[in-house]
Structure 1
Amino acid sequence: MSKILVTGATGNVGKHVVSQLASAGIDVRALARRPERVQAGVEAVQGDLTAPETLGPALKDVESVFLLWPGFTTGNAADTIAAIASAGQVRRIVYLSALVPSSEDAAGHYAEIEGLIRRSGLGWTFLRPGGFAVNTLGWADQIRQGVVRWPYGQASRALIHERDIAAVAVHVLTSAGHNGAAYAITGPEELTQAEQVKVIGEAVGREVRWEEQPPEEAREQLMALWGDAAFVESALTTWAGFVERPERATDTVRRLLGRPALSFRQWAEDHAPDFR
């Protein structure tokens, strides 16, 4: 098997893709802006996806690319994908996309990048995860205080463990039959935000209660934190939507890997030190 290039190789998902491929004895190369952060024993190359001219050394002898596009706009993704497609041995891209809430499709810049990949002439597979369990680390300070004050406690999602996203990516990268597929991947159960907080509290051995925050107050708080009005409104609208239309769990992880997806409780136990 030819070499696999993993982009975003030090991120929440990419680092697990790298480690799982390496553990399986697969020839893997990690692309990172700071290659010194890549796990020991893995070939690491410095480069930046937003600067296609830096990608030549990373793409040498590569057959498959795990693509995680940085940021929330397409930027110069067209040039980057063209550079990948023109590399001599690259045959396919496995792209980490995202689900539209209450759907199994992509939207926004994710859909735009999917379109660029479809038109690239390369084989492709799209992974469309729902909510990431790791995003609940944003509550860590409040968990330590014993109260999470946040809006839309009844918003329900099927959060996925980042290790499962990586495991699906590794399966797709190393097995046949996935060309042209788009996989909607989630965790195995639907939990409200208030229930997620309770599970995290149990995992860390601390009673943590939910305190409903008015959306207006949350808007001001998030604006101070994020500084992007459009992003804040999008987040609040999304959470509000999950109250009436929960993110439904899929069985894609089980179908592809032959085992159930990891539970949110498992994720919380794995990350308990991050909340202490």
Structure 2
Amino acid sequence: MTQTQRILVTGATGTVGRQVVAELLERGHEVRALTRDAAKAGFPAGADVVEGDLTEPDSLAPALEGVTGLHLITFGGAAFTPLETGPRILELARAAGVRRITVLHGGGPTPLEDAVRADDGVDWTVLMPVEFMANALEWADGIVASGEVREPFVGRLSAMVHEGDIGAVAAVALTEEGHAGRQYVITGPDVLTVGDKVKTISAAAGREITLVELTEEQALAQWRAAGLPEDVIGFLLMAYGDTPEVGRTVSGTVEEVTGRPARTFAQWAAEHADAFKGQL
């Protein structure tokens, strides 16, 4: 059995960060959950909520006391911009005695991840999840309002991953030996089309859902009407219109690292069925 350790989780209010917190607590570890606003955090019982800001690294110093592991994100601040503070964060982490660091990959090269990879003073692991199953929650309003999902490129393939499995891989890498210098691509157990996802949600929610395929032009108009920046729209066109092989290929990372199979989209849909019924 792994000895109890104290871990600091940054980005703890995010989709993945919350899962890292929950998984560490379930495994019996002490967790410090970092947020810019503790009053709004809403973490599970047992988490030690601390305030700090990755854009102001010295604010992390008190939270790092007695910590053996550190989970990092690569973007920060209210504008969610790439963090340039990696070297100082690492300096503080080493001084505090942090032995292991996980970094949630930001979709491409980032200054903080580059700084971590270049640091030989700690054991680091880079987590590279593909599309989150939680992204399907973006369909909830449309399903509740009209029973429709309106998407382009409906034949696109995704090996989407349950966010809880990302948290589980992080928890193991932060508390156990054997993961230093590793880059883990994290996927679910299946490759799914948009139609597959809609059918699965329909079954979980117990309601008929119609999939409406948009043309690329219609999708662009919809995204722009929603106020998405052009760089985000460009990313969506790349990710959806020509999904990279890594995003549509199942890896065995979850089972290899955690010892149990990756969770399916059907499991995720059952857990979130109420969101598609209009019952939150």
**Structure 2-normalised TM-score?**
0.88
Q: Does 1:20 align with 2:23?
A: yes
- Offset at residue 246 of structure 1 (A): 6.3
Compute the RMSD of aligned alpha carbons: 2.1
The aligned counterpart of 1:217 is 218
User: Is residue 52–residue 79 contact of structure 1 (8 Å, CA) maintained in 2?
Assistant: no
User: Is residue 255–residue 261 contact of structure 2 (8 Å, CA) maintained in 1?
Assistant: yes
User: Is residue 51–residue 80 contact of structure 1 (8 Å, CA) maintained in 2?
Assistant: no
**Closer, same or farther: CA 263–189 of 1 in aligned 2, 3 Å:** same
- Offset at residue 83 of structure 1 (A): 4.4
Given candidates 45, 48, 51, the residue that maps to 2:53 is 48
The aligned counterpart of 2:105 is 97
- Superposition pairs of residues 169-188 of structure 1, within 5 angstroms: 169-188=170-189
- Offset at residue 26 of structure 1 (A): 1.0
- Offset at residue 257 of structure 1 (A): 1.7
* CA shift digits 1:249-274 (9 cap, x unpaired): 11111111222100011101111111
The aligned counterpart of 2:70 is 65
The aligned counterpart of 1:101 is none
Instruction: Provide the C-alpha distance between the structure 2 equivalents of 1:253 and 1:191, rounded to a whole number of angstroms.
Output: 18
The aligned counterpart of 2:150 is 149
Secondary structure class of the residue paired with 2:49: strand
* CA shift digits 1:60-80 (9 cap, x unpaired): 111210112335642323355
The aligned counterpart of 1:190 is 191
**Structure 1-normalised TM-score?**
0.89
| Percent of residue pairs identical | 41
Instruction: Provide the C-alpha distance between the structure 2 equivalents of 1:59 and 1:246, rounded to a whole number of angstroms.
Output: 34
Instruction: Provide the C-alpha distance between the structure 2 equivalents of 1:184 and 1:53, rounded to a whole number of angstroms.
Output: 31
**Closer, same or farther: CA 150–83 of 1 in aligned 2, 3 Å:** same
**Closer, same or farther: CA 83–221 of 1 in aligned 2, 3 Å:** farther
Q: Does 1:81 align with 2:80?
A: no
The aligned counterpart of 1:102 is none
- Offset at residue 53 of structure 1 (A): 2.5
5+ long unaligned stretches in structure 2: none
User: Is residue 5–residue 68 contact of structure 2 (8 Å, CA) maintained in 1?
Assistant: yes
Secondary structure class of the residue paired with 1:212: strand
The aligned counterpart of 1:116 is 115
User: Which is further off, 18-27 or 264-273?
Assistant: 18-27
5+ long unaligned stretches in structure 1: 99-105
* CA shift digits 1:54-113 (9 cap, x unpaired): 111111111210112335642323355344445331222111115xxxxxxx6233xx43
**Closer, same or farther: CA 181–246 of 1 in aligned 2, 3 Å:** closer
**Closer, same or farther: CA 245–181 of 1 in aligned 2, 3 Å:** closer
- Offset at residue 141 of structure 1 (A): 1.3
What amino acid sits opposite 2:63 in the alignment?
A
Instruction: Provide the C-alpha distance between the structure 2 equivalents of 1:243 and 1:179, rounded to a whole number of angstroms.
Output: 26
Secondary structure class of the residue paired with 2:219: helix
* CA shift digits 1:133-169 (9 cap, x unpaired): 0011111112222111111101110111111111111
User: Is residue 75–residue 83 contact of structure 2 (8 Å, CA) maintained in 1?
Assistant: no
User: Which is further off, 119-128 or 35-44?
Assistant: 35-44
User: Is residue 94–residue 173 contact of structure 1 (8 Å, CA) maintained in 2?
Assistant: yes
* CA shift digits 1:223-248 (9 cap, x unpaired): 23243111101111210113999611
Instruction: Provide the C-alpha distance between the structure 1 equivalents of 2:244 and 2:207, rounded to a whole number of angstroms.
Output: 26
